[in-house]
Every structure is written in C-alpha cells, then in structure tokens.
C-alpha cells in the first residue's frame, strides 16, 4: 500500500512539474476570474456584477439564456442582467460563470483524434441528471450538482492536452466507460484524469466540495459519505448508459435503486425531465445536442429490452398453461406455494414490461407527434400491450400483485 501511495504522489509531482515547465492549463477569461472574487464579497451589489459581466458579450448572452431557460423553471422571462443575476443567485452565478468560461477554454467540435462534441454532449446529460437527482434527494444544491457533474471528467481534456499531445496514443485511449479509461491512463502515465482534474479545479479555484467529487467513483462514491459525489456517481452511470451500446435498458433502474432506492416511476420521471430540458440548456451553454437522435438511441435500448422479454415469454420451456389459484387449490397445494409460483413469473417479466411501457407513455409527451421518436414510441407501446396480454394468458390472468386482471399501469 505504501509503494502504491508513493507511486501516486510521484505521478502527481511529475504532472505539477509539467505545468511549471511551461505547459499551462487553459486560462479562464479575465471577466470570469474577477467574477469569482466579486461574487464572494458580501458588499458586492447586483449592479456591480452586471457591469462586470457586460464586458464579456459572450458570457452576457449565455447567462441571459440560462436565466430564461427551463433550468430555472420560471414562466416570466427576464430581459436585463440584474434580473438574470437575481434569478440565478450570487453563489450559483459564481460556479455557473466558472463552468461557462471553462467550457470555452477547450474545443467544442469533433476532431480527427478526439470527439470534443461528444465529450461535451455526454457531460451535459450528466449535469442534467445530477441536477434532477439532487432535486429529488435534497441532499445538495441542484445547481451545484449540475456544475460538479458537468466538469466531473474534465481531466480527460487535460490528459489529451498535456500528456498525449503528439504521443500517438490519442486514438487508442478510451474516454468512457470510466473504469476502463482510468486503468488505461494509469498504465500509460502513472496518473489518471480524475487526479489531474482535481489538481486543475483547485488551480481554477473551484469550491472544495466540487473538487472532492473527483476523488471517488463506483462503490466508493456510494459509501464515502459525500452526498454530492454520490449524486454525481449516479448521474455518471446514467449518462454513460445513454451512449454505451453495451449498457442495457435495465441499468437505469438498477443503478437508481442501488444508490438511492429509487423506484421505476422516480427514475422515469427524472430521465424524461432531462430530455425536456436538454435542448434549451444546450443552447444557453452553446453546446450541440441532437435530442431526437439521443431519444431514438434510448428507445432502441427499450426496444431491445422488450425483445428479451418476448424471447422469455416464447421460450418453449414456458409454453405451458400456468395453473390458476383455483386449480392449485383444488389439487391441495398450500396457499403460499400457489402465490410464490404464480408471482415469480409475473414479477420477473411484468416489472420490466411496466417500466418500458410507462417510460414510453411519459416520453410521448415530450416528442413531436410527427417525429420518428413518436412513431417508435407507438411501436413500443403496441408491443408492450401484446406482451402483457401474452403474459396474462400464461399466468391464468394473475398480475404482479397476485390478483386477476390488470393491465399495464398508467405512468403519469
């Protein structure tokens, strides 16, 4: 353990030496740097902050768009910077301005050796998931969770800028899933991007509780006692789940239940809310997001989940009529055995079936009626109904709660 600690310290020292030898981190804009100082002063007025922000037209436009976006959920638009500052709040203004400035310090477009556009797209979904989760659990500030999740993997950009540049490794390093990326970096450089991210965020004077999120992931994030890091961990898993083909549909619900005990309705609500907001927020942050494409990718995961359920229902081993409660009772079976036999099958198949159907119903309110997404949703709902009817026939009309009849519940 001591040798491992010494290796980590040595790698961190080498990185710091790299910075001191002339390789500098991207600077924040002068306005953002001054804004950090002013926003933390008790005597600072809203008009002083507005006068400073107006010196950066790009930041001015972004903050006005952000204040009027679905992010703050107000129906009344604001037209002036003082109004926008009051709506955003001084503390959140500081970290929002930091994030906007930091985002602009790196490329945004897709390049030959790295997909910066894809990096920021997954970062934005992660940020919105973080905000939605924190609004539900109420253990940390939603806006702080947004920022912490947005920049959670910002060290990836530093690795490419400071360690990989010209090394020939740019195209061979995975940048997600996280565990695979960290292992690759440690093997090649003796340091990973989460460690580098923590150093960089401290250099940029980010709050310590946001910096602390860089230190934990996986099971450690779940047990570290850091509420913000735990929120960021689930947000990371969900964002990766959107873009990793290997990630199953069920992972959204399994991860939500494992980290916070969320039921499927809560998970559905948060995922749909993110898709409701992502286009407007992406415009405020000047990021490129194709919501329709991302929705279709998620619908494809749901469709694959239905395919797996269909295979289970049509499996020859299951092609037999399941006895009803009355039949088993006549044969002398104990009531407990009857219940367990019938509910085991219903539970294993009905739960994921209800989750997919409920999600599709909720999502139908988000997409345009004439879009490809709406057509896909209709196909999924029809297939869900068909599978539900097949399942009810097989189980003698017994649903997941052990009573006759049923039907896929409405998910509102």
Give the tens place of pLDDT for each residue, 341-368.
Answer: 545 555 566 777 777 888 888 888 778 8
Look at residues 255, 266, 208, 211 and name the one whose alpha carbon lies nearest to residue 233: 255
What is the reported pLDDT for 411? 40
User: Cα–Cα distances in Å, from 315 out to 75, 181, 351, 389?
Assistant: 52, 39, 18, 16
Q: Per-residue pLDDT tens for 361-395?
A: 888 877 888 888 888 888 888 888 888 787 777 65
Question: What's the pLDDT score for residue 105?
Answer: 72
- Asked if 343 and 403 touch (Cβ cutoff 8 Å), the reply is no
Q: What is the pLDDT of residue 342?
A: 47
3-class SS of residue 319: coil
How many Å apart are CA 149 and CA 268, to the nearest integer?
A: 20
Alpha-carbon distance of 160 to 165, in angstroms, equals: 6
Predicted confidence band at 200 (pLDDT cuts at 50, 70, 90)? Answer: confident
Give pLDDT, residue 338.
45
- In the block, tokens 């002013």 appear at 38
% of the chain residues with pLDDT over 90: 14
The maximal CA–CA distance of the chain, rounded, in angstroms, is 85
**pLDDT band, residue 310 (cuts 50/70/90):** confident
Rg (CA), the chain: 25
Helix axes 291-314, 264-284, angle to 10 degrees: 160
φ and ψ at 334, to 5 degrees? -70, 145
Q: Which of 126-135, 250-259, 265-274, 311-320 has the lowest mean pLDDT?
A: 311-320
**C-alpha span between 247 and 243 (Å, rounded):** 8
d(CA 127, CA 285): 12
Residue 209: name the closest of 224, 187, 192 by CA: 224
* DSSP letter (8 states) at residue 164: I
Give the whole-angstrom CA distance, residue 196 versus residue 180. Answer: 17
Contact 191, 12 (CB under 8 A): yes
Which pLDDT score is estimated for 396?
Answer: 57
H helices of 169-226, in order, are: 178-189, 193-203, 208-212, 219-223
pLDDT of residue 128: 93
Mean pLDDT within 261-290: 85
Give the DSSP letter string of 368-401.
-TTSHHHHHHHHHHHHHHHHHHHHHHHTTTB-TT
User: What confidence score (pLDDT) does residue 193 get?
Assistant: 92
pLDDT of residue 404: 43
């Amino acid at each position: 353990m001591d040798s491992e600690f010494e290796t980590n310290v040595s790698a961190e020292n080498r990185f710091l030496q790299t910075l001191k030898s002339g390789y500098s981190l991207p600077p924040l804009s002068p306005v953002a740097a001054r804004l950090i100082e002013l926003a933390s002063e008790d005597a600072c007025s809203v008009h002083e902050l507005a006068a400073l922000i107006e010196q950066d037209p790009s930041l001015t436009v972004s903050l006005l768009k952000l204040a009027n976006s679905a992010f703050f959920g107000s129906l009344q638009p604001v037209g002036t910077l003082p109004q926008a500052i009051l709506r955003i709040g001084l503390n959140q203004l500081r970290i929002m301005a930091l994030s906007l400035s930091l985002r602009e310090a790196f490329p945004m477009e897709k390049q030959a050796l790295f997909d910066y556009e894809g990096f920021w797209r997954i970062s934005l979904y992660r940020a919105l998931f973080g905000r939605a989760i924190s609004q539900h659990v109420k253990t940390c500030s939603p806006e702080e969770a947004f920022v912490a999740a947005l920049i959670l993997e910002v060290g990836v950009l530093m690795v490419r800028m400071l360690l990989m540049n010209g090394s020939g490794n740019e195209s061979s390093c995975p940048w997600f899933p996280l565990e695979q990326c960290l292992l690759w970096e440690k093997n090649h450089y003796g340091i990973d991007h989460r460690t580098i991210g923590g150093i960089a965020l401290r250099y940029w004077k980010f709050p310590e509780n946001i910096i602390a999120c860089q230190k934990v992931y996986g099971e450690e994030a779940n047990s570290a006692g850091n509420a913000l890091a735990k929120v960021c961990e689930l947000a990371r898993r969900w964002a990766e789940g959107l873009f990793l083909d290997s990630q199953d549909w069920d992972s959204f619900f399994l991860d939500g239940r494992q980290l916070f005990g969320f039921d499927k309705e809560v998970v559905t609500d948060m995922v749909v809310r993110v898709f409701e907001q992502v286009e407007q927020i992406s415009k405020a942050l000047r990021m490129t997001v194709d919501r329709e494409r991302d929705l279709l990718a998620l619908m494809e995961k749901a469709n694959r989940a239905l395919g797996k359920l269909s295979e289970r229902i049509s499996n020859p081993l299951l092609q037999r009529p399941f006895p009803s409660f009355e039949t088993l009772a006549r044969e002398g079976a104990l009531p407990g055995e009857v219940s367990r036999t019938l509910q085991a099958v219903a539970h294993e198949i009905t739960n994921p079936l209800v989750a997919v159907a409920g999600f599709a119903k909720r999502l139908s309110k988000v997409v345009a009626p004439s879009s490809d997404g709406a057509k896909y949703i209709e196909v999924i709902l029809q297939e869900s109904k068909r599978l539900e009817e097949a399942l009810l026939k097989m189980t003698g009309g017994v649903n997941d709660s052990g009573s006759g009849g049923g039907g896929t519940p409405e998910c509102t």
